[in-house]
Amino acid sequence: MRKFRVSFLGILGLFLLIGLAGTALTQVYAATGKGSPPLPKSTPAIVKSANSFDPGGVNIAQEAQTLAARWSASVINGAGWLHLMSNHDRNKDVSGTLPNGQPVLLNYIDDAWYQVDGQGKVLAAVTLQKDLQGQTRQVSILQDGVWQNLTLDTKTPSGEPSVPQLDYGFSSNAMRALSQGSVLSRQEKIVSGRAVVTFTIHEEFTRPVQLAGYKQPVVSVNSTATFDPQTGRTLYLERVLVMADGEQRLSQRTDILTVERVTVPPAHILELLNQEVTR
């Protein structure tokens, strides 16, 4: 079997959040601004399916980019506020600890509010990390090009303003991974009575790699993103690690819950933009 040399940042960056500054994911946006119910996590994936594979992968990567761009254009279509919410489930052997002594949440809700300009670039933001009981565990804000984590009392420059990536950067990573020797594939299937298309980036390490939080080393990673083929909206993303003993482990799933444009966020969200870390 051919071994591929890969960039860890490319594959792992699909699902990592740096603090709370990562772009939130969302599920469904309609003209009404309301989302439809998320896909059940326990639903068997395939009722009927048709598989296809492009040896070069370029057509597959371009299709993913086209879908992501279509969805983004329908949502980020002018200055205003975006409300994005996503559910994150992670499966690790060991969880870390935050600087304030609290455990790093493996399962959480990301609730994000972004103010964008006419080009869709983020001017200001408030992101809340909540546990599954709805309790806010971390709060971060973006103001004047600086992310401030109000919970951990830290500041981080944001760099150049950018447009929120509603597919978590999957489509751009697909083309980049292809250039690094990865394999791309696509699959059309029916999930809960809905036609979807799933794209997979398969990256195989030249030797087993020990990733933080896992007892066994990892030999390859399959990262997938599932889209609505008509609207281009991203429905959910998954990452499967293939461990040294052959176990295929679903290490993370992100379900996109809400995308909506709002005239103005709730008052308590705007009030957070007036706060500042103490150091």
Residues 6+ apart with CB under 8 A from 144: none
pLDDT band at 124 (very low <50, low <70, confident <90, very high): very high
Mean pLDDT across 109-128: 97
- C-beta of residue 262 within 8 angstroms of C-beta of residue 83: yes
Cβ distance 15 to 223 under 8 Å? yes
Residue 103 predicted with pLDDT over 50: yes
Q: Which whole number is the average pLDDT over 247-253?
A: 96
Identify whether 2 is part of a domain: no
Residue 3 lies in a domain: no
pLDDT of residue 56: 63
136, 126 Cβ separation under 8 angstroms: no
Mean pLDDT on 266-275: 96
pTM, entire model: 0.81
Instruction: Report the sign of the C-alpha dihedral through residues 78, 79, 83, 87, in that order.
Output: positive
Average pLDDT over residues 35-47: 34
pLDDT at 8: 37
pLDDT: is 46 or 106 the higher one? 106
Distance CA 57, CA 268 (A): 46
Q: Is residue 268 part of a domain?
A: yes
pLDDT over 90 at 77, yes or no? no
Per-residue confidence (pLDDT) for residue 38, from 0 to 100:
39
**Parent domain of 169:** 8-272
**Type of residue found at 179:** S
Residue 275's SS3 state is: coil
* Residue 159, phi-psi category: left (phi > 0), alpha (psi -120 to 50), beta (remainder): left
Region 238-246: mean pLDDT is 96
Q: State residue 9's pLDDT score.
A: 35
Q: Is residue 136 part of a domain?
A: yes
Task: With respect to residue 278, please indicate whether it lies within any of the assigned structural domains.
Answer: no
Q: Tell me: the pLDDT tens digits for 197-238? A: 999 999 999 899 999 999 999 999 999 999 999 999 999 999
Q: How many separate domains does the chain show?
A: 1
* Residue 49 placed within a domain: yes
Confidence label for 55 from pLDDT (cuts 50, 70 and 90): low
Q: Domain with 268 in it: what CATH number? A: 2.50.20.10
User: What are the backbone angles phi and psi of residue 134, rounded to the nearest 5°?
Assistant: 90, 5
1 located within any domain: no
Cβ-based burial of 121 (10 A; exposed 0-12, middle 13-18, buried ≥19)? middle
Residue of 176, 163, 168 whose CA lies nearest to 235: 168
Please tell me which residue, 49 or 29, carries the higher pLDDT value. Answer: 49
Residue 277 belongs to some domain of the structure: no
- Is residue 245 within 8 A of residue 251, CB to CB? The reply is no
Mean pLDDT of 259-264: 93
Of 93, 84, 54, the residue nearest 182 (C-alpha):
54
pLDDT tens-place string over residues 174-194:
988 888 888 999 999 999 999
Residue 14 has pLDDT above 60, yes or no: no
* pLDDT over 90 at 42, yes or no: no
More confident residue, 23 or 200: 200
Residue 248 has pLDDT above 70, yes or no: yes
